[in-house]
Amino acid sequence: MNALLHRSVLALLGFGGAVTGGWAYAAPRHWYDTFPGMGMSWLPQLGPYNEHFAKDVGAMFLALTAVTAVTFVLVANQTLVRVTALMWLVFNALHCVYHLSMLQMYDTRDATVNGILLPLAVLAAVALFIPVRVSSEPSPRRPVRRTYRQSARTDA
């Protein structure tokens, strides 16, 4: 069940990273002027447009997305899931702290949306740290692997 949770969280984080990163990298001025879309614009209040910075942000999000996509495919590798969780947790926590300290720059609607979505992104990363339950019984789809010593003891 937790593999489904992990895949769901990875899909959510990866999709958000791909959309934000692709948009910022391919159309940095449009991204700056209109992010997050839907009639809202959150970036101009925070400082002047800088194409280099916008493209770097896009590249960073695309890099996060690439690691997340690999983790989605290899979700059984719990070390990789935890590394990906840590990567998103560091980014989302720092991003959240900064933006929550800047809420006064937004109107009530935009401040509220930021105040909800940014902590949810932190919680999404934390959810990837939930360990996957491993059954003690062998899977019916996978044969039990025996070591050489186990085979020697049972065959003798």
**CA-CA-CA-CA torsion sign (10, 13, 17, 18):** positive
Delimit the domains of the chain by residue range.
Answer: 2-134
Look at residues 114, 113, 82, 110 and name the one whose alpha carbon lies nearest to residue 97.
Answer: 114
Render pLDDT for 8-55 as a digit per residue (tens, 0 to 9). 999 999 999 999 999 999 999 999 999 999 999 999 999 999 999 999
Render pLDDT for 86-134 as a digit per residue (tens, 0 to 9). 999 999 999 999 999 999 999 999 999 999 999 999 999 999 999 877 5
35 contact partners, CB below 8 Å, separation of at least 6: 20, 23, 24, 41, 42, 43
**The pLDDT value given to residue 132:** 77
Q: What is the pTM of this model?
A: 0.82
**At 74, phi and psi to the nearest 5?**
-105, 40
**The pLDDT value given to residue 104:** 96
Higher pLDDT, 153 or 87: 87
